[in-house]
Structure 1
């Protein structure tokens, strides 16, 4: 079970880091009643929120691979997912996130802003800050679409494909009890995937099609995306272990 717990540790650190990205602005609100955030602080917060979001998506993909190896090759599980391999996977996840999100602050900083400076969410997101610009945001929207398709979208497809292979392997097991046991080992990961992707899809749909909705709805969806995984993932994995 050791490789799985390495991935759980990485997931826990990522969840906490994603929530901590808003900590400076939250403390300024609670301590100093500050209702504003500087432009540079907003961009910095945006970088970390999007960056850790991409990291978490990558961690969920690696955990899907972990479950696939554990079910498909149980006798070689530890020999395949060695400490070195897990370390390389972690470095690859972090490197991908930095490379993907690095251009975002510069794409935002080049835009002139002359509209309302009120954000629809309770923290800074690229798509939210972009709508306040008074110049063409075509490049920003195009890059945002590329990120969604080739990182989050691709990750979701890889996870889905992994579970198709897992299901195929499980159906080949003769014993019904063993099939149930194998599928039960994946339940926590499936819950973690849903906790991350469902609020993410919700906040995307709300931003894209819910411009007429109350600001409270936008803030609620944004906070669910930020807070649900770190709050519920420990409960889910704690109950399973």
Structure 2
């Protein structure tokens, strides 16, 4: 129960604070944010172009990588321009309906990306356990079904967010201490009984990120079991090397979430501005680093980049 002595009716306009306590540094924060945005756009567009042009990359692993790049582009497009508007133009106002829209789309893209990482873990599992049936199990038809299932799950899990948000009738302030409309950030400034909203927020984490992370760990447990049954050390190293890029991306994607959840469980209270910076990392760093990791560790993509650079020099 969140009670307010001086509550205000639900405002038509909310104010996004950006990074509370560090408003004087917003211009400086905008520089790395803009660079991350530019690198992420260029990197993911390059990945998509290479996969489209190179016929040898039209296989399940790279089709899932293309899906990851599309979602990364959607995720940063839904978050970074609003952040830069706050930092550069002091454009902090957002309508209530636009806030509800952000509550749905931003976490939806995040949940879809988490699901794609699970699908990529399943891809590696099939490649190592059933190499002869790999293309049969993960056919193009199956990839389409996986994509539709991930989209359906995101819609099912996140549709209640704007509905519950619309049920909030009064607030103790109209300032949201974030640079976007996070569901829990809006709930925490609301008055009245918010227990249903908090339970829903926890269920979203468990039903998406928690579910995916559990099965990713299970998949890699089975992968390791299969790899260490291979008698040749050289063959073991080759099998594990195919998982290297994916493991790097998984660590990068889930570590901020795990760190934030563990901090709350252990009772460690971070400074508000530090918590918000970490939350922003959920959406900023993976879209920038994912194409760099796969570009550096994937031979076909690396060769295409070197070929383009060589043509430009000539």
Say if 2:206 is the partner of 1:149: yes
Please report how far the alpha carbon of residue 114 of structure 1 lies from its aligned counterpart in structure 2 after TM superposition.
Answer: 2.2
Please report how far the alpha carbon of residue 99 of structure 1 lies from its aligned counterpart in structure 2 after TM superposition.
Answer: 0.9
Alpha carbons 2:83, 2:180 under 8 Å: kept: no
Q: Which has the higher contact order (CA 8 A, sep 6+)?
A: 2
Say if 2:102 is the partner of 1:36: no
Say if 2:275 is the partner of 1:237: no
What does residue range 58-97 of structure 1 map to in structure 2 within 5 Å? 58-97=115-154
Alpha carbons 2:86, 2:179 under 8 Å: kept: no
CA spacing shift, 1:117–1:202, aligned 2, 3 Å: farther
Q: Which moved more, 1:169-178 or 1:115-124?
A: 115-124
Please report how far the alpha carbon of residue 124 of structure 1 lies from its aligned counterpart in structure 2 after TM superposition.
Answer: 1.4
* Structure index of larger Rg: 2
Alignment correspondent of 1:215 = 272
CA spacing shift, 1:129–1:15, aligned 2, 3 Å: same
Measure, in 1, the Cα distance between the counterparts of 2:280 and 2:291: 18
**Aligned with 1:11 (options 39, 44, 68):** 68
Please report how far the alpha carbon of residue 30 of structure 1 lies from its aligned counterpart in structure 2 after TM superposition.
Answer: 5.9
Please report how far the alpha carbon of residue 51 of structure 1 lies from its aligned counterpart in structure 2 after TM superposition.
Answer: 0.5
Q: Which moved more, 1:30-39 or 1:181-190?
A: 30-39
Alignment correspondent of 1:164 = 221
Alpha carbons 1:203, 1:225 under 8 Å: kept: no
What stretches of structure 1 of length at least 5 have no aligned partner? none
**Aligned with 2:282 (options 217, 225, 228):** 225
Alignment correspondent of 1:126 = 183
Aligned to 1:136, the other structure's residue is in SS state coil
Aligned to 1:37, the other structure's residue is in SS state strand
Aligned to 1:195, the other structure's residue is in SS state helix
Please report how far the alpha carbon of residue 28 of structure 1 lies from its aligned counterpart in structure 2 after TM superposition.
Answer: 4.0
CA spacing shift, 1:117–1:19, aligned 2, 3 Å: same
Measure, in 2, the Cα distance between the counterparts of 1:50 and 1:203: 16
Alpha carbons 2:165, 2:187 under 8 Å: kept: yes
Say if 2:155 is the partner of 1:98: yes
Please report how far the alpha carbon of residue 31 of structure 1 lies from its aligned counterpart in structure 2 after TM superposition.
Answer: 6.6
What stretches of structure 2 of length at least 5 have no aligned partner? 1-56, 299-314
What does residue range 46-57 of structure 1 map to in structure 2 within 5 Å? 46-57=103-114
Aligned to 1:62, the other structure's residue is in SS state helix
Measure, in 2, the Cα distance between the counterparts of 1:206 and 1:117: 27
Measure, in 1, the Cα distance between the counterparts of 2:96 and 2:88: 20
- 1:138-162 CA-partner distances (Å, limit 9, x unpaired): 1111112222222211111110110
| TM-score, normalised relative to structure 1 | 0.92
Aligned to 1:61, the other structure's residue is in SS state helix
